[in-house]
Structure 1
Amino acid sequence: MNFANRPVFWVVKIIIIALVVCVLGLTSLVSDQAENDRDILSTSMLSENGPSISEEILNLNSLEKTFLSSDFYRKERMLPLTVTKDLKYFLAYKISNKSMAKDNELVLIGMPRQLIDLYLVDLSENKATYLGKTEFIINQAWSEDGQHLALVSHKSVKILDLAKRSLAEVPMQHETDIYNTNWGLDNRTLYLHRDTTPNYYAYDTYSKQMVKVRGRFQEGDVVYRGKASGGILTSKGERVGIANGLYYGEAPEKQLFTGEVTIHDINDGRILVSYDIDNPEGGARFTLAEYDLKTGASRVLYNEGNLHTKWKIFKASYLKTTGDIIFTTFKLSDISVKYSLVRIEPNGKETVTEVPSPLYTVTPGENFLHFAVFKDGESCIMNTADFKFSDPGLQQADQKSEIRDLMLHVLYIYGSETPKLDEFKQFFINTYDPIPQEALENILLEVEGPKYWQFIRQEIGKNVTMTLKLKDANRASVILNGDYFRGPHELVKISGKWYVTGFSTWPESKARNDVYRACTRFIDNQIKTGKAEADFNRKRDQDDYVVRTTALLNKMRTQSSKIEVGEIELWAMSDPHRAVNPDAKEARVKIIVTLNDGSTEKLQGYFSRGDSGGTWVFKGLGKLSTGLFPK
């Protein structure tokens, strides 16, 4: 990611190097954040004076205190979310009594699901109008004319029509996590952004149509991104179908960034942005930074520090009354996931506070941070005067679930650089009833080769949910939602404890049964009769693989007393990874051979079928190894 104003940027970089010792002195890091490659600078590095406190935020702060002294807050327990542009109405909310406990149990890492009731409050009339329910608000944005308010929550965007006192849902063409939104200058176009993929949708509120989706932006399209320091921020459509870059001002605009940039917040002439930097060695490095429009300087607030990383910041904001920057992130341990609020003061001092979840709202006057929680009915309010919770007993609302705890342990192992043998045996097991499933054997094979383990090791990101199906009291299926090398997990409960026993084995699926029958037929009709061996002998190209396979087939035919089908895993070779649904086109099959001397050998067969389905056919054979399929 390059800054357009390179001379200023490089001057700042030189200053950074010269003052690195001072920077370290100004930066206070806690131990659980030490692995992050940070470069937190004093705001004086960006400009001589920090952003001044605007008259608008002072008015909001004063107005909010009036709300907090009213019965709407004291008795009804409503919290202000935002204020109309004419300062006449508060949009307020309170936690709904409707439970989302079952939904939250499926969140391994991420924002909690919590319903709220929305109200439009007129303090002068002492009146509250009920607007409806939605989930806890991630982000909101007023239209330029102040007549419409967009509200972003879990996989949902709603629009409040102030005149009609009504909420309308924005129809999503695909279920996706929207992070924030902003309105166009025309007061009718709503732009929707994901946190790592901005300019994802453009929605026309008049026609109620999604007029642009990612991949369909054209050259000449302009995406309005907000106002800062008296100018507008925009992105532009490109030939590849996306709206890219970040520009400032009217034509000729000044390009601030190339690529995809998400704006988290704006404070006077400063913008809080995130973007990714491509590494020459491969992968991307996600970065949170502050950019000063007045000087062209920037400072990195957070980056992952690895080549292959997942974005780990949930939300970032300015506190305009103090000049602080705050953001939430997480750390996964071997026993739990912990969420943190990172606060960076104007002098560069950083403090980290453990919080119940990464999802928060800032009240319009910035007196409180309100955190959503996983536990029904609870509420966690942090006072920004001292950054302490008003009720310390509610700081942590831990989720208790045996299966959820198991999968958190499993995630931690998947992300470990050097996992330990005893860790695997605590959470993985081999079972053979009703079918062979050997998760423990498979993962031990994978970790035997350090290079292979590093190749498949998972970077655990900030949004990990699971799909759970309880089959009976002692069996369950879990699918990790996302791009995971091991998505589907078969679970078994033995002596009161849950274990992972299979990866993508799909015990009840037709595909698994079809592979079993195909392999059984191949053993009886091809291996035992010598036909498979003869077919390989007739191959024109007698390379090492053909020679080795022929030898294995001969040994199975001439030196075995029994050949059985063992564990079957369904795979998707396009990525490759274990198949996340039973409609797979590839399968890895373990074949157990009992030799005449009583010993056993375990081989690995590869079966596949065409894209249109059809018959499973034999494609390869080899010794059991971490390799995906025999070569």
Structure 2
Amino acid sequence: MVKLKKITFFLFLILILGGCTHQEVKEGQVYVVKDDDYMEEQVGDILNIEGRIPFQKYVNQSFVDQMEIDQILLTIAPNGKELYFMERIETHDFTQVIKGNTGEQVRIIRKDITTKDQKIVIQNIPFVSKVSWNIEGDMVAFGGGGILTIYDRKNENTIMKEKLAQDNITNFFWSPIDASKLYSEQQDLANGSIYYLTSQKKVEAYETREETYYKGKLDSNYYYGTKWDLGNGDIKTVILDKQGKIIKALNSGRFRDAYEKSLVLVGDGGFGLFYIKDINNSQEVITLTEEYIYDVKFIADGNIAYTTKAEDIEANLFYLNIVNNSGRQLKKSKVYGGSIAVLPDGKTGYISGPQWQQVDFVEAKLITDSLGEEEELDEIKDIYKGIRGAMITLYDFRMEGKENWNNLKKYFINTDSPNQWAYFDMENIFKEKVDTSFTGYYAMDIYLKSYAMDSGGDRVSVKVSVNTKHSHARPMMLDYALELIKSQGAWYVTGFSTFPYSTEENKIEEIVKETVEKIQMGKLFSGKLENQNITIGQIQFWLRGLPRLASNVESADAVKVFLQVNNQEKQEVYKLVLEKVNQSYWKPINLSREDLSSL
């Protein structure tokens, strides 16, 4: 009887296991295979593989010869019958970018190699810096500027355009076993959304149990992936097989590109570029830079091209860096853009920007090495220089703790009629204590939101949006309202959130006058400044709850007023703060000589 029970249990177990192995696998449902007896191989384990060279040899030079002016050959279809070109769409939208990657738009053109027939298949997307085909060779993904576009060449249409546009996608890779599955990466998510194209389903990062995403190809059997440790948040690059089994753990960081047995990784938030020459010696890491990486690519001969911000404070430029396969720098040139498009053979590339610049990667040089005139309208070119200089001076202190007094004098000024004291504001900001434990590298984008020149042509009001990424902090976006004035041929920032020509400013000025009279009479703040000679200085609009400067006057719920107190012994500056109670009543809440840079 006992023996019969054992046999019955054994048969039952076989049925259960057999049923599990034949369970239907549904698209869009994530299945995680765990092998309890499997342990990740250590970093020192040797993989006897050569890797792959990611470039295509042209059958003949006519592929490149078929490129027209303002066209870039992006990819050759796996069937060898079609070419895909990127072509610039003429626009002046890049003038809205004061600092950062310009916003040029492109179209993708498909060309039949035999018939020479051409067709525009994609319109109005950013400069494309990465192209990848799925395993069937019937869908191709184009990525750049945070936008991913997928084209189905069989059905001749784009797929999931609306859902893809919802995410800022910084990197992507196809599944090695599912032709309709694509993994994505976002700025703040190493493992982002997963897209199932046949079912048009998007699976968010928090919805999946997959801890490892495919990111690149090592050879026909092995792939690179990014493993996200849900416990401690660590991001590590690993080597996987097609079934998702981790074969080898490499290093912390996000995978970016590979060539034979070499790869490059970027650090947290895109800061830092790390080169591993041989996956079998992954503990030997060459740090190429600790700055923010806008783009990085392997190029011909296993050399590396990458872009960082240029040091020129007044110009919107980048550095193109080319290093050899030993990590030694071959070339560093100023260029217009931060994105790199590498032609299929890896020997030539183009840099994004208002003017596309061709690069000879074999000779490690720009075809046009000198920069021409900046593609900015003459009317605002000098204003942009002033804005760049002022905001970089401000953020160099906020982000890196740098006090640049020369730039303070170069880009800021105090003016009268009306009183605007941006120079004085910056002097007090420089007196703030900066937590040096959080200082580090940062990257900045500045976008123009609005622009209004006065009739005299020597004053301008602008609103800008400043997006920053920091090596030790989360990304941040702030809007600023700036007043600039032209003096001796140069433009200076003279006011932050002063709105000198607004109706609200005129109303507040009258309220401030009445408040100062009460202060002089000893009716407010316990008689502080009673009978003193007080001159009203700058009036500035704030958001009290945050607190920060108001980017538009209508949303302000507090004002800070500088009062200049004159007596025989010395001249002192106080700040008077009024809080908005309702549309007709502003309540005085503070009068102080301390912390003049804050509310």
Question: Does the alignment reach a TM-score above 0.5?
Answer: yes
Which whole-Å CA distance do the structure 2 matches of 1:167 and 1:262 have between them? 28
Partner of 1:385: 362
Report if the CA contact (8 A) 1:359-1:371 is conserved: yes
Three-state SS of the structure 1 residue aligned to 2:213 is: strand
Three-state SS of the structure 1 residue aligned to 2:154 is: coil
AA in 1 matched with 2:598: L
Residues 332-371 of structure 1 show CA distances to partners (whole Å, capped at 9, x for unaligned) of 2344354222222124432123134322210011231122
Residues 585-609 of structure 1 show CA distances to partners (whole Å, capped at 9, x for unaligned) of 55433234455x6975421133445
Q: Specify whether residues 606 and 286 from structure 1 end up closer, same or farther in structure 2 by C-alpha distance, changes over 3 A only.
A: farther
Which whole-Å CA distance do the structure 2 matches of 1:210 and 1:53 have between them? 31
1:322 Cα deviation after fit: 0.7
For 1:216-615, what aligned pairs fall within 5 Å after superposition?
A: 216-220=206-210, 223-229=213-219, 230-235=221-226, 245-249=236-240, 250=243, 253=246, 256=249, 261-276=253-268, 286-290=272-276, 292-304=278-290, 311-319=291-299, 321-354=300-333, 355-375=335-355, 379-392=356-369, 395-396=371-372, 398-400=374-376, 401-414=381-394, 415=396, 419=403, 421-433=405-417, 435-447=418-430, 449=431, 451=433, 460-461=442-443, 463-472=445-454, 473=457, 474-482=459-467, 483=476, 487-494=480-487, 496-507=489-500, 519=512, 522-523=515-516, 527=519, 530-533=522-525, 550=526, 554-557=527-530, 559-562=531-534, 564=536, 566-571=538-543, 574=546, 577-582=548-553, 583-593=555-565, 601-608=572-579
Q: Could you tell me which runs of 5 or more consecutive residues in structure 1 were left unpaired when the two chains were aligned.
A: 10-45, 278-283, 305-310, 534-549
Three-state SS of the structure 2 residue aligned to 1:342 is: strand
Q: Could you tell me which runs of 5 or more consecutive residues in structure 2 were left unpaired when the two chains were aligned.
A: 1-39, 468-475
Residues 190-209 of structure 1 show CA distances to partners (whole Å, capped at 9, x for unaligned) of 33323564233333434545
Q: Which moved more, 1:360-369 or 1:331-340?
A: 331-340
1:87 to 57, 64, 80: 80
1:221 Cα deviation after fit: 5.7
1:438 Cα deviation after fit: 0.7
Which whole-Å CA distance do the structure 2 matches of 1:251 and 1:168 have between them? 26
1:160 aligns with 2:148: no
1:123 aligns with 2:113: yes
Report if the CA contact (8 A) 2:43-2:282 is conserved: no
Report if the CA contact (8 A) 2:131-2:143 is conserved: yes
1:252 Cα deviation after fit: 5.1
Three-state SS of the structure 1 residue aligned to 2:268 is: strand
1:198 aligns with 2:175: no
Q: Specify whether residues 149 and 517 from structure 1 end up closer, same or farther in structure 2 by C-alpha distance, changes over 3 A only.
A: farther
AA in 2 matched with 1:589: V
AA in 1 matched with 2:462: S
**Aligned-residue RMSD, C-alpha:** 4.1
Residues 405-440 of structure 1 show CA distances to partners (whole Å, capped at 9, x for unaligned) of 11232244332766554543332122233x422101
Residues 143-176 of structure 1 show CA distances to partners (whole Å, capped at 9, x for unaligned) of 2222211212334322111112233563268876
Partner of 1:40: none
Which whole-Å CA distance do the structure 2 matches of 1:567 and 1:203 have between them? 52
Which whole-Å CA distance do the structure 2 matches of 1:236 and 1:467 have between them? 39
Report if the CA contact (8 A) 2:534-2:563 is conserved: no
Report if the CA contact (8 A) 2:97-2:447 is conserved: yes
Which whole-Å CA distance do the structure 1 matches of 2:375 and 2:483 have between them? 22
What fraction of aligned residue pairs are identical, expressed as a percent? Answer: 15
Three-state SS of the structure 2 residue aligned to 1:444 is: helix
Which whole-Å CA distance do the structure 2 matches of 1:328 and 1:67 have between them? 27
Aligned residues: 534
Which whole-Å CA distance do the structure 1 matches of 2:393 and 2:136 have between them? 51
Residues 382-418 of structure 1 show CA distances to partners (whole Å, capped at 9, x for unaligned) of 223313344456x545345111111232244332766
Which whole-Å CA distance do the structure 2 matches of 1:411 and 1:65 have between them? 47
1:142 Cα deviation after fit: 1.7
1:443 Cα deviation after fit: 1.2
Report if the CA contact (8 A) 1:139-1:151 is conserved: yes
Three-state SS of the structure 2 residue aligned to 1:61 is: coil
Partner of 1:67: 63
Which whole-Å CA distance do the structure 1 matches of 2:448 and 2:437 have between them? 23
Q: Specify whether residues 296 and 388 from structure 1 end up closer, same or farther in structure 2 by C-alpha distance, changes over 3 A only.
A: closer
TM-score, L = length of structure 1: 0.72
Partner of 1:619: 589
AA in 1 matched with 2:204: K
Which whole-Å CA distance do the structure 1 matches of 2:249 and 2:314 have between them? 42
Three-state SS of the structure 2 residue aligned to 1:113 is: coil
Report if the CA contact (8 A) 1:217-1:243 is conserved: no
AA in 2 matched with 1:505: T
Residues 207-258 of structure 1 show CA distances to partners (whole Å, capped at 9, x for unaligned) of 5454316xx3454465333332422444457668989544432565257368
1:137 Cα deviation after fit: 0.6
Q: Specify whether residues 114 and 606 from structure 1 end up closer, same or farther in structure 2 by C-alpha distance, changes over 3 A only.
A: same
Indicate the structure whose relative CO is greater, using CA pairs within 8 Å and at least 6 residues apart. 1
1:53 Cα deviation after fit: 6.2
1:67 Cα deviation after fit: 0.7
Q: Which moved more, 1:172-181 or 1:103-112?
A: 172-181
AA in 2 matched with 1:440: Y
